[in-house]
Amino acid sequence: MSTTPTSSQVDWSKARVIVTGGAGFLGKAVQACLANRGVKKDNIFIPRRKDFDLTDRAATAHLYRSAFGKDKVDVVIHLAAEVGGIGANQKNPGRYFFANMAMAVNLIEEARLDGLSERGGKFIQTGTICAYPKFAAIPFKEDDLWSGYPEETNAPYGVAKKAAWQMLDAYKLQYGFKSAYILPVNLYGPHDNFDLHSSHVIPALIRKCIEAQQRNDKEIVCWGTGAASREFLYVDDAAEGICRAADVMIDPDPINLGASFEIKIKDLVELIVKLTGFKGGITWDHTKPDGQPRRKLSVEKAEKLLGWKSQVTFEEGLKRTIEWYRANPSK
């Protein structure tokens, strides 16, 4: 039985927390969320790839032994992933499967061997909605995760992240391992990845529009037909949902985090064009894929189990993201 939203089970004022991917887009927001809960700066450890290759078992074991010296970690929040947009997924299916699968396997097993659950600790795993079947009923409900095969362009990544959930469930059954499994919808916000070769749709469109505006281009070119729809969640809202799961969950019952709306990519492009002030036209490259036809999540479980709902409206979130990118343009 999953826990219901009550006060936190974690004494955050004393908690030592490992946040993989903590220096990244979502990680920065999670760090701020932990600080708001009273976690001391010295008690948040961010493993960097140059020091800890989490796809390597020995390096992962070393992380648990060394992160806090002689002290032990209380909460592991696993955000790190190798991921990108449709093009990046098409170019790197093997790497995306291996890296994401290996990181989860190593982190979970080494946490078990380190005695995380025995001392009352928890492991928080972020999944991906890429794990949902390509033609899952709308809105996506957690019970439908195994009702079909994921959309082909990101299936290796999605299956690897879904397998981590199954590992956590198996470890709960055999070892009593305490964990949570969170499925955020497409995220956006300040500090996102704006690299045109590996970014997701919102940062890619923002950068395209702003750079086209600066060059006085007559058009921007967008992938696909624009007919697919997506749901987007502001990064600060996602971070709060993840930390709320760390507060109250003890088993990996999958929980969606979403904003309870969807928008067609065509309408998204037009909105970003409007908010950035780009005056040129929009051309659609129909030779490129649309990806999964629709994405919209049911968030009833998050409201029930976590007491969580998104707070930032979509247009307000886009304005904040555009403002941040203008102040921090990619080199």
Name the stretches of the chain with pLDDT < 50. 1-3
Q: Total domain count for the chain?
A: 1
Asked whether residue 266 is domain-assigned, the answer is no
Q: What residues have CB less than 8 Å from 70, skipping those under 6 apart?
A: none
Per-residue pLDDT tens over the stretch 232-253: 999 999 999 999 999 999 999 9
Residue 313 CA to residue 214 CA, distance in Å, equals 28
Among 237, 212, 205, smallest CA distance to 85 is for 205
Stretch (H or E) spanning 304: none
pTM, two decimals, is: 0.91
CA–centroid distance for 147 within its chain: 22
Asked whether residue 81 is domain-assigned, the answer is yes
Strands, E assignment, 219-319: 219-223, 229-230, 232-234, 255-257, 263-264, 281-285
Residue 155 CA to residue 152 CA, distance in Å, equals 5
Give Cα separations from 57 to 87, 110, 117 (angstroms): 29, 8, 19
Residue 197 CA to residue 216 CA, distance in Å, equals 22
Asked whether residue 7 is domain-assigned, the answer is no
Asked whether residue 203 is domain-assigned, the answer is no
Among 67, 21, 17, 20, smallest CA distance to 39 is for 17
Among 220, 298, 311, 312, smallest CA distance to 266 is for 220
Asked if 164 and 126 count as a contact pair (C-beta separation under 8 A), the reply is no
Asked whether residue 211 is domain-assigned, the answer is no
What is the distance in angstroms between the CA of the first residue and the CA of the last residue of the chain?
A: 49
Residue 279's pLDDT is 95
Asked whether residue 75 is domain-assigned, the answer is yes
Query: What CATH number is given to the structural domain containing 185?
Result: 3.40.50.720
Residue 197's pLDDT is 77
Domain that holds residue 69: 17-190+234-260+296-311
Asked whether residue 10 is domain-assigned, the answer is no
Asked whether residue 199 is domain-assigned, the answer is no
By annotation, the residues acting in catalysis are 157
Residue 58 identity: A
Residue 230's pLDDT is 92
